[in-house]
Amino acid sequence: MYNVAVIAGGDSGEYEISLKTADNIFNQLDKSLFNPYLIHFRGADWHYTDENGNVCQVDKNDFSITVHGEKIKFDAAFIAIHGTPGENGRLQAYFELVGQPYTGCGVFCSALTFNKYYCNLAVAGFGVPISPSLHFYNSDPIDYEQIESVCGYPCFVKACTSGSSVGVTKVHNRSEVDQAFAEAFKYDNQLMVEKFVRGREFTCGVTSVYGAPRVLAVTEVVASNEFYDYNAKYTAVGHKLITPADLPAEMTQKLSDYAVQIFHNLDCHGVVRIDFIVSEDDGVPYFLEVNTIPGQTALSIVPGQVEYNKLDIKEFYTKMVMEALTFKKG
């Protein structure tokens, strides 16, 4: 039996969603193979609550807990934190320092993909199309003319290091720019302004747990709001998911090829979700972002793609843990 710490919570606006993701993973882990422990993170408070309600603090020197006088070390940590510190490389770096195997992507990949702007630059270097964008720190003056010449209206203003569409605003004219900047800077000290691409949005779940990277499916995301926002992602209303996407075979293959290329070149592990939008104007699939800790709730895309492939979700999570025990990450 392997001891597995399922890591929940975190310090971002995605805290509540992380709890739901962790609960689903915890419930689906094969109890004949694993002893799962739900570990909650919130700032410096890392703890486990036992069956009697007793709170056991994590010993950060070696990532262990002591329960009923017994010291418990973990064979693997299953990271289920969206946002800081589980998705930006910080937790991965800590686990590397203490020698703790963990699921998902390594330090560099997590840090790079967590910043939307710099991830865009990297992906563009692979030859994958990206939409024009600009970068601002909160100390920079707003250059309205540059925004209008490079991105135009409408455009998106996005906090660089937030997920689940937190800190994202669709801007329709100059009068909305200041408020959109203020909203993004609530979550980060830097943001990107990205040209709006009118088209259909698609997402590819990509995994390495079965060997070579493979695309689970291409899913179309049809949002009833102006974009696939936080409420649409985590409630049963406001969006429609179509798996497999109704696309010509050539476009499905192109999206899949781009997704596998990005997964490989960024040295991803476990399962990630890679988002694209196919332009109505020129038919080009533009890269949007990489989600290295995609949602694993009952409403999330990746579990739906696993089910579409007639794969067992319990076996899928087993393979994620076993990959963590096998591969050395960077």
Structural domains of the chain, with CATH: 2-103 (3.40.50.20), 111-129+198-326 (3.30.470.20), 133-195 (3.30.1490.20)
Q: Which residues lie across from 41 on neighbouring strands?
A: 9, 46
Check pLDDT > 80 for residue 180. Answer: yes
| Model pLDDT for residues 56-74, shown as the tens digit of each residue | 999 999 999 999 899 999 9
pLDDT confidence tier of residue 230, bands split at 50, 70 and 90: low
Check pLDDT > 90 for residue 237. Answer: no
Per-residue buried b or exposed e for 245-264, using 16+ beta carbons within 10 Å of the residue's own CB = bebeeebbebbbebbbbbbe
pLDDT at 223: 83
pLDDT at 226: 62
Quick one: average pLDDT of 164-172?
85
pLDDT confidence tier of residue 235, bands split at 50, 70 and 90: low
Q: Which residues lie across from 168 on neighbouring strands?
A: 158
| Sequence-ordered list of residues with C-beta below 8 angstroms from that of 279, at least 6 positions apart, any chain | 197, 198, 199, 285, 286
Check pLDDT > 80 for residue 165. Answer: no
pLDDT at 328: 66
For strand 2-9 and strand 76-79, is the pairing parallel, antiparallel, or unpaired? parallel
| Model pLDDT for residues 262-300, shown as the tens digit of each residue | 999 999 999 999 999 999 999 999 999 999 999 999 889
Q: Which of 228, 211, 105 is nearest to 156 (CA)?
A: 228
3-class state of residue 117 by DSSP: helix
pLDDT at 227: 52
| Residue 188 backbone phi and psi in degrees, to 5 | -160, 160
| Residue 173 backbone phi and psi in degrees, to 5 | -160, 175
pLDDT at 239: 78
Check pLDDT > 90 for residue 231. Answer: no
pLDDT at 164: 59
Name which residue leads in pLDDT, 234 or 192: 192
